[in-house]
C-alpha cells in the first residue's frame, strides 16, 4: 500500500537537500587537501594548518600579512585555502598535495611584495604562508644564525642584539619585512656600502623542492644555491630558512637627518651628493629623499639626507666638512648611539625605544602604495635636477629615494649572485607614492603619477636594459601570461641583466614543468605546464567528494520512506 505521506516526504527531501547544499556540505577542496595531507601528517595537525574560506579565521589570517591595501579589496582574487605550516615537513606535504590536486601555490613570508604576487592570482590557488616558521638560532661561536623564512627582520635584529652588542646584519630598515622574501630577492640596508647585500652573507639554506624534498646547500648544489640568493626563491622552491654570517659593528655609531628646501641650496647639495655619497668612506651610508611639499601655501620640493656612520660624531663631522661642505653638518646635527638603537631610529622609532619594539609584527597594517625603481650610473646635471623639481611639483605626490652604492658593492662581481647591479652604479632610485583613498580612481591617479615620473627620468638612468630592483616588485617592468622564456626575458633582464640566462638554466634543471611560478617568475626554457591551476584531477576529486556527501545524506533521509 503506497505511503500517503510520500509526496510530503519527497518535498522534505528536496528542501533538506537544498539546505544541505547551501549550509552543510563540507568544502570539498578542503576535504581533498586534508585527505592528502593526512597521508604524511597527523589528522589533527593537518586540520589545524588548513584555513579555508569557511573558516571563521580566514579573513584575519589573509589580511594579517597584506601590506598593500591595493590588493585587499572585494574584487581582489582570494586564495581558496591558506596553508599555515608549523613544521618543515608540513611544507613538503603542502607542495606535494598542491600538485596532486592541481592547484597553484603562492608563497608568502612577510607580505611586503609590492604587487601582491605572493597572495593574489587570477585562477583558483592556495597560499602557503610561512609566518609560523620563524625560529632564529644565533651561534656566536662562529658568528652565524639560522633564520626561519617566516621571521621578520625586526625579530632577527632583536635576536642578534640579545646575543651580542657588537654584531649586526646588512638587511633592510623596515622591521616587519619577512626574511624569506627579503633574502631571496637580494636584500640591502644601511650597511650596504660597508658589507654589501644581505645575500652576500648567506652561507647555507634549507629549501623544499618541487618533489617535496628538503635540501640544504650540499644536497641542492651550488647552482640552485646561487639562484635563491637574489634570483627570487619562489621560482625554484620554498625556502625554509637561511644560514647567515653576522658582521661586526662598533659599540658607537652615529646617525643624522638634515632637511633642505629648494631655497636652501637643495640643488647644489643633491648634485654634490651624487658624487660624494658613493665614493666617501665605506663606513658612511647616506640616503637622500626627494619630496614635493607645500610651504607657506606655495608648492616646492625638499630633500632629506639621512645617514648612518659606523663611528663617532667627531670623525663623521670631520669627514663631511672635508668632503661635503655644502651639507653644513655640525656635531649638533648628530646623535651617537648603539647599532640596535640606530636600527630602531631608521625604522622611525624615537632614540631610546626598547629593542622589544622590533618584535611587533604590526599586523593588518596596509596603506595604498606603488613603487618603481631605477639605477643611475652618471650624475644628473644641475639642469636635469632643476627640471626634476618642477616635474615632481607638477605631479604633486610622488617622492624619490636615492640609495648610495659604492664601497663594498664595487668589489663584488655582478655574477657572484643573481643580483647584478654592482660596480658602475652610483645609486639606486625608489619611486614612492602612498595614498589613503580607496577606489579605482585614486589608484589610477597615483599609479599614473609614479609612471609619469619614471618616464621623465628615462634620459638620466641606466639603459639597455633599463635596470630595476627585483625586491621593489613592479609589474610595469613586464609580466608573463604564457610562462614563456621570451616573456620572462623582458623583466628578467631588467632585474638580473646577464644573469637571467643562468637563472633560466637553473629553473629548467630543478622545475622543468614550472610548478613554482608567478607573473614575474623565472621560466624554464620550454614550459609545458602539467599543473593546471584547476586541473581535471581536482575536478574529479571534488566531484567525488561532493557526490558522496549528497548520496549519504539523501540515503539517510529516504531509507524509511519507501
The percent of residues in the chain predicted with pLDDT above 90, rounded, is 88
pLDDT-derived band of residue 4, with 50, 70 and 90 as boundaries?
A: low
Quick check: bond before 193 cis, omega within 30? no
pLDDT (0 to 100) of residue 27: 86
Residue 209 cell numbers, joined: 623542492
Query: What is the average pLDDT value for the chain, to the nearest integer?
Result: 92
Q: State the number of CA atoms in the 13 A half-sphere of 462 facing the CB.
A: 25
pLDDT-derived band of residue 524, with 50, 70 and 90 as boundaries?
A: very high
Is pLDDT at 533 greater than 80 in this prediction? Answer: no
Is pLDDT at 194 greater than 90 in this prediction? Answer: yes
| 431: in domain | yes
Q: Given 375, 472, 495, 500, which residue is catalytic? A: 472
**pTM for the structure as a whole:** 0.91
Range of the domain at 517: 478-529
More confident residue, 558 or 365: 365
pLDDT-derived band of residue 3, with 50, 70 and 90 as boundaries?
A: low
| 355: in domain | no
Do 422 and 308 sit in the same domain of this protein?
A: yes
Do 37 and 160 sit in the same domain of this protein?
A: no
| 270: in domain | yes
Do 86 and 175 sit in the same domain of this protein?
A: no
Q: Which residues contact 496 (CB under 8 A, 6 or more apart)?
A: 231, 418, 419, 420, 470, 503
Boundary-marking domain end, from 230, 248, 266: 248
Report the alpha-carbon angle 376-377-381, nearest 5. Answer: 75
| 378: in domain | yes
pLDDT (0 to 100) of residue 561: 39
| 544: in domain | no
Do 318 and 195 sit in the same domain of this protein?
A: no
Q: 523: burial class by Cβ within 10 Å (0-12, 13-18, 19+)?
A: buried
- Rounded to 5 degrees, φ, ψ at 33 are -65, -45
Could you give the number of structural domains in the chain?
Answer: 4
Boundary-marking domain end, from 129, 152, 169: 129
| 397: in domain | yes
Is pLDDT at 76 greater than 60 in this prediction? Answer: yes
Do 389 and 495 sit in the same domain of this protein?
A: no
pLDDT single digits (tens) 78-104:
999 999 999 999 999 999 999 999 999
Orientation angle between helical segments 536-558 and 28-37, nearest 10 degrees:
110
Q: In what order do the strands lie in the sheet with 202-208?
A: 136-139, 144-148, 238-245, 202-208, 214-215
Do 288 and 431 sit in the same domain of this protein?
A: yes
pLDDT-derived band of residue 551, with 50, 70 and 90 as boundaries?
A: very low
Do 290 and 240 sit in the same domain of this protein?
A: no
More confident residue, 122 or 538: 122
β-strand pairing of 81-83 with 50-52: antiparallel
pLDDT single digits (tens) 249-308:
999 999 999 999 999 999 999 999 999 999 999 999 999 999 999 999 999 999 999 999
188 is catalytic: no
Do 175 and 216 sit in the same domain of this protein?
A: yes
pLDDT single digits (tens) 332-372:
999 999 999 999 999 999 999 999 999 999 999 899 999 99
Domain of 92: which CATH number? 3.30.43.10
Concatenated DSSP letters for 440-463? HHHHHHHHHHHHHHHHHTGGGS--
Q: 501-509, long-range: CB within 8 Å, 24+ apart, which pairs?
A: 502/223, 502/226, 502/227, 502/415, 502/418, 503/227, 503/231, 503/235, 503/418, 505/223, 506/223, 506/224, 506/226, 506/227, 506/231, 506/236, 507/227, 507/235, 507/236, 509/223, 509/224
Do 430 and 507 sit in the same domain of this protein?
A: no
Beta-sheet strands, E only, within 389-496? 399-404, 427-435
Boundary-marking domain end, from 84, 114, 129: 129
| 341: in domain | no
| 441: in domain | yes
For range 411-419, the mean pLDDT? 98
Amino acid at each position: 500500500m503506497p505511503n500517503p505521506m510520500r509526496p510530503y516526504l519527497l518535498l522534505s527531501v528536496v528542501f533538506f537537500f537544498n539546505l544541505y547544499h547551501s549550509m552543510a556540505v563540507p568544502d570539498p577542496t578542503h576535504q581533498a587537501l586534508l585527505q592528502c595531507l593526512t597521508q604524511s601528517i597527523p589528522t589533527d595537525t593537518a586540520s589545524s594548518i588548513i584555513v579555508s574560506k569557511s573558516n571563521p579565521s580566514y579573513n584575519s589570517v589573509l589580511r594579517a600579512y597584506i601590506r598593500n591595501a591595493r590588493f585587499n579589496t572585494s574584487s581582489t582574487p582570494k586564495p581558496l585555502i591558506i596553508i599555515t605550516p608549523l613544521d618543515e615537513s608540513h611544507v613538503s606535504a603542502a607542495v606535494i598535495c598542491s600538485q596532486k590536486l592541481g592547484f597553484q601555490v603562492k608563497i608568502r613570508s612577510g607580505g611586503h611584495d609590492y604587487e601582491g604576487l605572493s597572495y593574489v592570482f587570477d585562477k583558483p590557488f592556495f597560499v602557503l604562508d610561512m609566518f609560523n616558521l620563524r625560529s632564529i638560532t644565533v651561534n656566536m661561536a662562529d658568528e652565524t644564525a639560522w633564520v626561519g623564512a617566516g621571521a621578520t627582520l625586526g625579530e632577527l635584529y632583536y635576536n642578534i642584539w640579545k646575543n651580542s652588542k657588537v654584531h649586526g646584519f646588512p638587511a633592510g630598515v623596515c622591521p616587519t619585512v619577512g626574511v624569506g622574501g627579503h633574502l631571496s630577492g637580494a636584500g640591502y640596508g644601511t650597511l650596504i656600502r660597508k658589507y654589501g647585500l644581505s645575500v652576500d652573507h648567506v652561507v647555507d639554506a634549507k629549501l623544499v623542492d618541487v618533489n617535496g624534498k628538503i635540501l640544504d646547500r650540499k644536497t641542492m648544489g651550488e647552482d640552485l644555491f646561487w639562484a635563491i640568493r637574489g634570483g627570487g626563491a619562489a621560482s625554484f622552491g620554498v625556502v625554509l630558512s637561511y644560514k647567515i654570517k653576522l658582521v661586526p659593528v662598533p659599540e658607537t655609531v652615529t646617525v643624522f637627518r638634515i632637511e633642505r628646501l629648494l631655497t636652501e641650496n637643495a640643488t647644489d647639495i643633491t648634485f654634490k651628493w651624487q658624487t660624494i655619497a658613493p665614493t666617501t668612506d665605506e663606513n658612511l651610508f647616506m640616503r637622500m629623499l626627494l619630496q614635493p611639499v607645500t610651504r607657506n601655501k606655495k608648492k616646492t620640493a625638499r630633500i632629506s639626507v639621512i645617514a648612518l656612520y659606523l663611528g663617532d660624531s667627531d670623525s663623521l663631522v670631520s669627514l663631511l666638512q672635508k668632503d661635503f661642505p655644502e651639507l653644513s653638518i655640525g656635531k649638533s646635527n648628530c646623535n651617537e648611539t648603539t647599532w640596535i638603537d640606530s636600527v630602531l631610529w631608521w625604522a622611525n622609532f624615537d632614540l631610546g625605544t626598547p629593542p622589544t619594539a622590533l618584535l611587533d609584527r604590526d599586523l593588518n597594517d596596509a596603506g595604498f602604495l606603488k613603487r618603481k625603481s631605477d639605477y643611475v650610473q652618471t650624475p644628473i646635471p644641475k639642469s636635469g635636477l632643476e627640471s626634476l623639481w618642477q616635474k615632481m611639483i607638477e605631479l604633486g605626490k610622488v617622492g624619490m629615494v636615492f640609495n648610495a652604492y659604492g664601497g663594498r658593492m664595487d668589489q663584488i662581481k655582478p655574477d657572484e649572485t643573481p643580483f647584478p647591479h654592482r660596480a658602475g652604479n652610483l645609486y639606486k632610485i625608489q619611486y614612492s607614492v602612498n595614498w589613503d583613498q580607496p577606489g579605482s580612481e585614486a589608484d589610477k591617479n597615483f599609479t599614473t603619477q609614479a609612471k609619469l615620473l619614471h618616464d621623465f627620468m628615462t634620459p638620466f638612468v641606466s639603459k639597455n636594459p633599463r635596470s630595476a630592483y627585483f625586491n621593489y616588485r613592479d609589474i610595469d617592468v613586464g609580466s608573463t601570461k604564457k610562462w614563456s622564456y621570451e616573456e620572462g626575458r623582458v623583466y628578467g633582464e631588467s632585474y638580473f641583466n646577464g644573469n637571467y640566462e643562468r637563472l633560466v638554466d637553473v629553473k629548467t634543471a630543478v622545475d622543468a614543468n614550472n610548478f613554482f611560478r608567478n607573473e614575474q617568475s623565472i621560466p624554464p626554457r620550454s614550459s609545458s605546464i602539467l599543473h593546471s591551476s584547476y586541473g581535471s584531477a581536482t575536478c574529479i576529486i571534488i566531484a567525488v567528494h561532493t557526490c558522496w556527501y549528497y548520496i549519504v545524506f539523501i540515503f539517510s533521509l529516504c531509507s524509511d520512506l519507501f
